Structure formats: structure tokens, C-alpha cells
Structure 1
Amino acid sequence: MRLLVLALAAAASVSQTQSPTPKAAPPDWDLSALYPSADAAAKDRAEIEAEMPGLARWKGTLVDAQSIRDALAARSALRMRLARYYAWAMLRVSRDGSDEAAGADLAAATDLSSNIETTAAFIEPELVALGNARLAELARNEQLAAYAKTLTLLRIRASHVLPTAQEELVTSVQPLLRQPASVRDTLFNVELPYPTITAEGEPRRLVPGALRRSLTDPDRATRKAAWHAFTTTQDSFKLTQAALLSSYLSGLAWEAKKRGWASQTEMVTASDPVPAAAFSALSAEAERAVRGPLTRYVALKARALHLPALATYDLGAPIAPDTRHYTIDDAKALTLAAVAPMGQEYQQRLARGFAGKWIDWHPGPTKAPGGLTLYGVASVPAYISISYSEDAPGLAIFAHEWGHWLHWDYAREANRPYETLAPETTTNDLITFVHEMLVTDAEIARAKTSAERIAALTTAIDALRSPYIGVVAQAAFDLAVRDAADKGRALTPEAISKLYCDARDRFSPSTIQRGEHDCLGWVTEPYVYYDMYFYRYLLATSAAAWFAERIAAGDHQAADRLKDLMRAGGSKDGPALLKQADFDVADPSGYAAMTRRIERLTAALEREVKRTQPTR
């Protein structure tokens, strides 16, 4: 049994702007829904630790439906309680990565999760020993209805379940196998000596959020200086980062081999499958978009900036001045209005979320960039952590994370068993991308001037160029680097950089000028440590374009099917839920919706730019 982790959605679409040395404002969220005090949290943790050994009472007894139900229920009860403690710790860490007490609590939650799974490691081997036919029978047993999915998945991976003693050993070392990921996050988010440049007459420390701000600066000298300083610093730590990544992937390769999987990719995605044909189809569409509208977009931007070709640090540069400014209240109002096609009840649900204390949006000096929505406690709505910037990317990530919040809220409403409550990664980012598309389309529609339309169209294209097409490249890199680790190849910085650039170049216009350190993007991205997160999430984001296309056309049934999918939580695997909602992952034509969207936006931008150019 792999180490239990909570359903944590780390939105990767946008890194948020941070001031060079901001003071963290008081949080807007209220964590008392988890625990009223630190003492209450410590008491709950102590009780979980005390009750955990009691799981062993069922060892050697799992032969009938009653004993199986009791054992699975006891394990679930501890997992649910631990989910609360984990959320309480993780949210505090996300707000302040230097909070030592929060870090210690998170480490304790991770260790306790491992201990629970180790103590209960006998469950899977004993159930597998009953035989496939008996497991199938148990999955249909009314007494075990809450665990039907658990038993069905166990049948799928039965041949990879180890004898109890070996299962206990492999489970017990999970914290060690994941330690490189923790070290990497501490290094990157807290201790890395980020460089400082002068921008707008003032020093700017290039933490990830401030880098994004610099790369959208109209001044090319600022963009170039920021990119050079940032990537040079990353280059200085590439040996450490490569060692951490190699260690992490080697650990997964060891576990996959121990369990008899053909690859770590196969092991990681066994319970949340992505058919190879589906990834091939969506990748082919991404390449079509790159060769077609995105190549035209890059050429248009180069002409607008009076450059012979764009460098990597030019990709985020504005074509025209973007004077749009969104306060946090603006973000709420605009998101609420944009999701109107989802129905009045949907808007009311979102408004109730806004009225609660579920988000901390203030930037902070040691706050993780980007955003996350964390859920796992059935009785409590999700919590959101972002570093909000009052610009178009800030608006997009705000809308994105509230999509996660709503997905969890619909799933909670369905009152599903804990085991099938959280959505799988293959559906988890579906509504979030629909949100982003609805918001960007609304901004295009309400633009009053040509400059505003150009800015809105550029934002909409960039929201797909990097967070979607770039993610396809990231997923291809993820596959390649894991394959190299499985085969025992040396993962030196040079070897990793080549794999990264090979994947990136496949999904980037060939006209972009490459710089000395451009292949070091793997150093700044944490997603290889996220168990094939991007590879799996692409099913959701690909389907989002298909749903958004229909919803924008007034297809109310598509909106209703999407809400039904959200209510389904994790009751079925992602491809099955998508098929139920009318999106067939096996049909290549479904992935063309994303290409059509990029083509439509690029063509509109080309027309707008042409319209503003003086006639000769």
C-alpha cells in the first residue's frame, strides 16, 4: 500500500506576484473548523497514535464480510482523522514555509500516515489471499458497499501486493522515499539565495512570483536581466537538485521493481488510469496547436515587439499596455458573473463560499508560490491558499482555485463514503479550467478598447500556451525521466536537462530563440515529485475545453452533466466519469476542442492587431 496522501490540488497554471520583502498579512481563513486550538490538534494527534496499534486486532481474521468491513472501517476512521490533522499542518506550512512548528506538525502527520499504513499493511495481502473470485464476490456484497471501489482496485493490482512482512517493510520506508521531495521544497521555497535585480528603480528579489512579474515587464532589459539572474542561480544548484530528483525517482523505481510493476509510471497510475492512446491523442493535438496558431502567435508577438525572434524571456511580454487592475473584490465579482452559464444554483453556491473564511490570499515572504486547494475532511469545505496579484493572472488563479473548492463542495453534498469522496486527478482540474476559460472569455467580451481586447486575448492564449501546452511538455518529460530512472540511467544535470529540452522543444514553436540555461526548467518545477500529477490531470484539462465550448454555446445539459461529475467525487475512475458525462477519452476528436479554442483566440488577436495598425 503506497503512503496515504490527501487530495491536494496544486494549481500550476500561474505563479503569483510577490513583493520583494512583504510582511505577511493576517490570514483571512479560519482554521478553527479543523481545530479550535493547537492544543486540540495535539490531543487529536495523540489519540490517533494511541488508537493506531488497535488495527492489528484484525490481523489473521479477514475471511468473512463482517471482519473485513470492521477492519476497513477502522482504517478509514483513522485516515479521516489524520486528514484533518494533515490539513491543519499543511495549510500553515503553505502560508509560511519557515514556520518550524507547522513544519514539525506536517512531518508528524506524514510519519503518522506511514505508521497507520504499516500497521494495516496486512489487510491487502490477506484479502488477495482470498482469491480473485472471492474478491469479486465481496465487492458486490451489500455489507461492503462503501468499500466496493477499494476491493475492485485491489483485484486490478492483486499480483503486485506483497506478502505481509514485505508489505510492512515497503510501506514503512515511504517517508524515506519521499524525503527528497521535502528537501527540494525547503531548498526552493525557503533557503535558496534568490538574486536581486533593479526594476522600476527599486531592488526586486526574484522569488518565483517576482520572477513572473519581471517576465511580463514591458522593458526587455528587465526581462532579460531577471531571466539571466534567476537561471544563473538555479544553475549553481543543479547538482543538488539533480541528486534530489535522482534519489526520489530511484526510490520509486525500487518500489515498482519490488512490487513487480513494469515501470513506476504503471505503478503510480494504476488506480487513476490514463490510457496510452488518450495521452497520444491529446499530445498530437497539442503539437498541431503548436505548429499552427501558437507559431503564428509567437510570430505576431515578435513583430509587435519589433524583434526578429522571441527569446524565452519574451514570451510573457505584453503586446500592448495592460492597464487592467483587479482588487480581490473585483476578482470575486468577475468570477461570479463569468460562471453564470453554469446556472443560478452554482452561482449561489460560489457566493456562499466567498462569504466564508476558506481562503488566504495575501502574499507573504515565505509563502509557497502559485496556489493550492486542500481538502480531505468530509465535514469541512476546502481551504484555498494563493498569493493574489491584482492582474489578469491573479484573476485566473483565483477563479481556478474556487473551481476546486466547488468540486469538493458538490462531492461532499453527495454524502459519499470517505474512500470515494475525493475526485481523482484525471477529473480534478476539469471545472477549474472551465472557470478559467469562462473568466477569460468574459474579459474579452467586456473589453471596451482595442488595447483592452488585445490584452484580454493575449491573456487567454497565454493561459493555454503555458498551463496547457506547457503541461503536455512537462508530462512528456515526466514520462521520459521516470523511464530513465527505471532503466538505471545516470540522472546527471546534463542528462535531465536534455530530457527536459527534448520534451519542451516538441511542444514549443521552433522559432523561439533558446538561451544558455533554458533547459534548466526542470529545476524550478516540483511536479515530477507529484506522482504523475500532470500526466493524469491532462485528461481533465483537455476535457475542459470540450465542456467550455458547449457551455459557451448555451448547452445547459453539458453544464448539468459537469455538475453531476463533480457530485460523483471519486466514485469511479476518471475516464469512466468523463464517459458518463459524454466525453470519451478514447475518441481523438474530443481533444480537438483545445486546438479550436487556441485557433479562435489567435485569429481574433490577429484581426485586432491588424485593425489597429495604420494603413500605408
Structure 2
Amino acid sequence: MKDIAWNLGSVYPSSESAAYRADKEVLVSLSATVLSLLKQAESGELEASDWLPRALESLNRLLDLSENLGSYVYAAWSVDTSNEAAQGEMDDLEERSLALKDVLVRFRSMLPGVKFESLPDYRFWLDEQVFLSKRQMSPEEEALAADLQRCGGDAWDRLHSRLSSSLDRPWDDSEKTVTQLRSLAFDADRNVRKRAWEEECAAWKGAEVSFAAALNGVKGTTVTLNTRRGWGSTLEKSLVQNRLSRTALDAMLGVMTESLPLFRRYFRAKAKMLGLPGLAWYDLFAPIKPGDTKSAGEIWSWERVSRFIPEMFDTLSIEMGDFARRAFSEGWIDASPRNGKVGGAYCTNLPLAGNGGESRILCNFDGSFDSVSTVAHELGHAWHGEVMKNLPAINREYPMTLAETASIFSETLVFRAALDRSPESSKPGIIDTYLVGASQVIVDILSRFHFESALMRYRPDGELSPAELSEIMLDAQNRTYGDALEESERHQWMWAVKGHYYSPDLAFYNFPYAFGQLFALGLYARFRKEGGDFAPRYRELLRLTGSADAVSVGKSAGFNIESPDFWHSGISTIKGFIEEFEKF
């Protein structure tokens, strides 16, 4: 496959360009202007009816600038983590963004007691900021915490990214990065899969002391700051960030736990189909029909993917399909695995790029159908940004739960359309690919939730060693995979693999994926029932995600997400595919 790299030219010509430098200067100068405005208001010189609308207008501009600059620089760094110039720009932006963080802290502290009736478009966000004002330290303490974060939690996060993107192991006459080794989990040859798993585990083990130090640093910072800010727990903060009620989370987790025997049936059926007594970790992603070029085990070309996904999006709306075509044709996607490139995948929005905003997508495409699903997933994020791009920045800030809804809906759209159009001989492989993803989102995500819950329970008592972290991870995997996965061949270093654990600002970035999966299944069922009439309703639902909580967004679609019945309905769809898979 030729090198598929993105084009950042429509964002900024370069980090040395006049446009980039000018935006950095405006970020600083406008932050200072807003701080001055807030100080005037604090002293009583201005009424709320005067300072609040002006502050909101400036905040929208500042958030756009910050996102555009930050996304651009991270994009440049993430494809080459050895890029010292990009690293330097990230450091510089972090320093320049401290003033914006100070603006938000001081803005929140002035909101209690202010009436918002004249600002209905911002009412939800303003009410949320009033609550958050009760979960922050003094402006001076918050400023110090933000400054220290640059060489604390954020630095640990960068260390993880840099190490994980450059780890490699010998392979025949060359080397393979851990990202490349992990992609061999899709290889048809079990000996290759096992060897890759062993080499990958050896790579993580060789760097486990560094990864453990980074994880302890990030979570130690999280515990300290959350305690000082008055959060009852890290999970409480995560629920607020996700705009999700504890009732809804408990209902979802309860149904996920009840579904585990169902997924173990799938694992046993897959083992039987592969001619194995049971699955090892390196068998989870194995193709079931490697000899059939029409199965999901075939190798997909990038050219085929660039046609296939837009055509599948067309089944919802031509507008969404054309958007995907634009992303492929205009160089919005960096798809090729490379040494020094971060693993996994992400989508980032650039609100000031091009004509009113663009997105960029990073992935590590390996030709598997799982990779096709990943591209569809990230394009779902991009479409979410597209339909919201004419909203104020404040009302484009949606939580992780609802962010994953758009991405997983797009995955589901591609999977179901592909399945409906496939001959019978191809369906076992396609259904298996879907169930691989569903089991990751339900079974593995639940194990990650258990791991992080235990980690946050133990971390206040001291740092955890690599062996202790691995023990907690294996226990979490045992709770969810059970006896359907060989006990001696699991992945104890998943705590080092998953970058989400290392974000100092986003703990428990696991259950939003399960939420997105099951919520998307509900939306997809509505689409199958309503057909083309669903497209405008779906668009409006996505636009609502930045100005309502998850329960309210669910109600707008006719769902009660605080009831276990809703989550059972999503699992029942997966159950149907497992029962069909068992018949093959």
C-alpha cells in the first residue's frame, strides 16, 4: 500500500507561517482582554447584562483558536513523535493556554447568583459552569495546578505516547513496532499471531517500569486534584464530564455484566470454528475463514475502502456520503502505520480550517475489515463535527458518551450495509468481525472499567508496581472473559497499551464506548424502521449533544437510558448475531 498521509495545508501552511503565529498571538492577547473584563466585573464596574454577553462572545473565539492550534500541532507530532519542532510547539501552546484556563476558572467563579434568562442558547452550559464552580480551587490555586500540569500529568501522558509509538522488537531480518505487532492479531496463521503476541508482551515488559511510573504519576495527580477540588471520587467527576447520571451508568453496567455468559458463548463458538479447545488472547481477532477471499478475513485496499465507506454512508444520506468522499479526496486521513507514529486512531476537529471547519483522522490501516470499521468510526466523529460546525464553540463541546455515539453509529451503518449486501458465504466472517468489535466494547471495556476502578481505589495508598498493575489487570480480565479465554495466555500489560489511562483530565474513558455502542444500536433500529426520514432527526440529535445531558438526548430519540430495558434492547441485537454465528 502506498503511503497514505494527510494534508494539513488548509489548516496552516506550517508552524512557521504568519497565519499560525498570528493566531497564537491572538490567543494570548484575547485571553488578557477577557481577564481584564472579568476583573472589571468582579470589582463591580460592570453589570452582568454587560460583561456576560461580551465574555461569552470572546470565549467562543478563544475556544475556536485553542482547538484549532492545539489540534494542528498535535496532528503534526502524532505522525512523528520524534519531531522536536512539533514537541516544542506543543510546549509553547500549553504555556500560552494557561491564560485561557485562568479565564474559565474566573468566569465560573463569577456565575453564581447571575440570572441567565436573556441567554437561552447558553443556559445549559452556564448552569453546568455554575455547578463546576463548586468543584474548583481558588483562581490562584487553579493557575498553579494548570502550570504544574505541563511538567506533571501532561508530561507523563506524552512519555507514554512517545514510548509506546517507538517500542519495537526484532522480527526476522528487521524490526516491528508494537503497533505493527498488534496488527498481526488478524493474521490467519496462529503461529504468527502467537509469536507477535509474545514479542509484543516482551516489548511492554521491557518498558514496564517507565509505563508504571507514568501511570502512577497521572493517577496520583488525578487523586490529589480531585480531592482538593471537592469531588467525592474520580468516577463522580467522570460522570459529570460525560453528562451521565449514576442511575444510567449503573443500569448499563448491570446489563453488561448480565450479558457476559452470552459473549462467552460467542468465544467458545469461535474457538470451535477455529478448531481450538479455547481461545487465547491472540485468537480474539483471528479471521475465521482465511481462505475465502470474500470473507472479512480478506485484505482490503485503501482505494476500495475510499469507495465503500461513502457508499455505505449514502444509505443514511447522500450528504453524509459526500462528506466522507471529501475526507478521502482532500487528504484528511493519515492511514499508513509508521515508526514513530502513535498507535490506535483518533479524529480531531479544526474549527478554523478551510471553509468553516474541517477534521483530520489518524489511523493505522492494515487492510483488515476491522481497520475498515475503524476508519468508519473516525469518520463518524468527523461527521459529528461537520453537522455542529456552525454552532458556537461553547455549544459544540459534547461529552465522551455522546461523542462515541456518532462514531459507533457509523461503524454499525457500514457493518449492517456490508452484511445486507454480502452473499451467504461471506456472512460468517463479517458477523465475526462485528462480534469481535462488540465483545471489545462490552467485555473488554467492562474489564477496563474494573481495572480503573481498582486502580483509583488503591492509588491513594501509594504507587503500584508493574507486577501489581498486571495482577489487577489479569483479575479484571478474569471477571469479564472468565473461562472462555485461556488463563495463561491473556494480556497483563493492557494497562500499558491503552493510552486512555494516561490522560490526566479524562479518567474512566472506557464506559463511554459501551454507551455509544448500545445507544447507537437503538438509533440504528430507529433508522431501519424510518429509512430516509431518520437522517434529519439524526442530524438534529447530534447538534443537541453539546447543549443537553445524555438522559435528555436519549429522551429526544424516545429512549429512557436510566432503565435497564433500554440497555437490554441493545444487547438483544448482539444476541441475535451471536445466535446466528453459533449456527455456522
Change (3 A) 1:111 1:489: same
Instruction: Look up the equivalent residue of 1:534 and give its one-letter code.
Output: N
Residue 185 (structure 1) aligned with residue 161 (structure 2): yes
Quote the residue 2:9 is aligned against.
31
In the TM superposition, 1:548-567 aligns within 5 A as 548-556=524-532, 558-567=534-543
Separation in 2 of the partners of 1:45 and 1:255? 28
Deviations 1:424-454 (A, max 9, x none): 212111122122122222333333362x222
Residue 252 of structure 2 corresponds to residue 282 of structure 1? yes
Q: Aligned to 2:22, which of 27, 39, 43? A: 43
Question: Is residue 125–residue 162 contact of structure 1 (8 Å, CA) maintained in 2?
Answer: no
Deviations 1:267-316, CA, capped at 9 Å, x for gaps: 34424333223222222332333202x22222222223332222211222
**Aligned partners of 1:434 and 1:48: how far apart in 2?**
35
Quick one: distance in 1 between partners of 2:421 and 2:175?
35
Secondary structure (helix, strand or coil) at the match of 2:436 reads: helix
**Distance in structure 1 (CA, Å) of the matches to 2:174 and 2:521:** 37
Aligned to 2:434: 460
Match of 1:14 in 2: none
**Matched residue, 1:309:** 278
Cα distance in 2 for partners of 1:180, 1:230 equals 22
1:606 paired with 2:575, answer: no
* Alpha-carbon spacing, 1:600–1:365, altered in 2? closer, same or farther (3 Å): same
Tell me which residue corresponds to 2:299. Answer: 325
- Please show how residues 53-68 of structure 1 align to structure 2 within 5 Å: 53-58=32-37, 59-62=39-42, 64-65=47-48, 66-68=50-52
Q: Give the Cα separation in 1 of the matches to 2:567 and 2:368.
A: 30
Whole-Å Cα distance in 2 between the matches of residues 73 and 447 of structure 1?
A: 51
> Whole-Å Cα distance in 2 between the matches of residues 288 and 512 of structure 1?
18
Q: Which amino acid aligns with 1:462?
A: V
Q: What TM-score do you get using the length of structure 1 for normalisation? A: 0.85
User: Does residue 107 of the first structure (1) align with residue 91 of the second (2)?
Assistant: yes
What residue in structure 1 maps to residue 422 of structure 2? 447
Q: Does 1:368 align with 2:317?
A: no
The change in CA–CA distance for 1:368 and 1:572 in structure 2 (over 3 A counts) is same
Check whether the contact 2:102–2:139 (CA below 8 A) recurs between aligned residues: no
Give, as a single letter, the amino acid of the residue that structure 2 aligns with 1:278: A
User: Which is further off, 300-309 or 349-358?
Assistant: 349-358
Question: Are the counterparts in 1 of residues 415 and 434 from structure 2 also a CA contact under 8 Å?
Answer: yes
- Equivalent AA in structure 1 for residue 421 of structure 2: R
**1:196 aligned partner, one-letter code:** P
Aligned partners of 1:344 and 1:353: how far apart in 2? 14
Shift of 1:96: 1.7
Amino acid at match of 2:191: A
Instruction: Report the Cα offset of residue 100 of structure 1.
Output: 1.4
> Residue type of the partner of 1:372?
Y
Asked if residue 253 in structure 1 is aligned to residue 223 in structure 2, the reply is yes
What SS does structure 2 have at the residue aligned with 1:68? helix
Residue 419 (1) aligns with residue 394 (2): yes
3-state SS of the aligned residue for 2:485? Answer: coil
Structure 2 residue 80 is matched with structure 1 residue 90: no
Q: How does 1:204-215 map to 2 (within 5 A)?
A: 205-215=175-185
Residues 45 and 158 (structure 1), Cα distance of their counterparts in 2 relative to 1, 3 Å cut: closer
Q: 2:446 aligns with which of 460, 472, 476?
A: 472
Does the residue aligned with 1:25 lie in a helix, a strand or coil?
coil
- Alignment match of 1:385 (pick from 359, 362, 371): 362
Aligned counterpart, 1:488? 461
Deviations 1:447-487 (A, max 9, x none): 3362x2222121111121114432232233223322322x4
Which of 469, 482, 502 is the aligned partner of 2:475?
A: 502
Distance 2:40 2:472 in 1: 47
Distance 2:367 2:197 in 1: 22
CA contact (8 A) 1:342 1:559 kept: yes
**Cα displacement (A) at 1:84:** 1.7
Which whole-Å CA distance do the structure 2 matches of 1:602 and 1:346 have between them? Answer: 30
1:523-559 Cα distance to aligned partner (Å, 9 max, x none) = 1111112413223343222201112233234555554
1:521: Cα distance to partner?
1.2
Residue pair 2:77, 2:83 contacting (<8 A) in 1 also: yes
State the AA in 2 paired with 1:44. Answer: D
Aligned partners of 1:565 and 1:581 also within 8 Å: yes
Task: Classify the secondary structure of the residue corresponding to 1:61.
Answer: helix
Count of residues paired in the alignment: 566
How far, CA to CA, are the matches of 1:604 and 1:578 in structure 2? 29
- Percent identity between matched residues is 20
Query: How has the CA–CA distance of structure 1 residues 518 and 70 changed in structure 2, closer, same or farther, with 3 Å as cutoff?
Result: same
The Cα shift of 1:563 comes to: 1.8
Cα 1:348/1:489, change in 2 over 3 Å:
same
> How far off is 1:375 after superposition?
0.8
Amino acid at match of 1:109: L
The worse-fitting range, judged by mean Cα deviation, of 374-383 and 42-51 is: 42-51
**1:231 pairs with 2:205:** no
Distance 1:147 1:173, change over 3 A: farther
Q: Residues 341 and 554 of structure 1 are in contact (CA less than 8 Å); yes or no, is this contact kept in structure 2?
A: no
Q: Which secondary structure does the structure 1 equivalent of 2:240 belong to? A: coil
Taking structure 1 as reference, are residues 557 and 484 closer, same or farther at Cα in structure 2, changes over 3 Å only?
Answer: farther
Secondary structure of the 2:171 match is strand
What TM-score do you get using the length of structure 2 for normalisation? 0.89
1:396 equivalenced with 2:373 (yes/no): yes
4+ aligned runs moved over 6 Å, structure 1 = none
Match of 2:106 among 100, 119, 122: 122
1:13 paired residue number: none
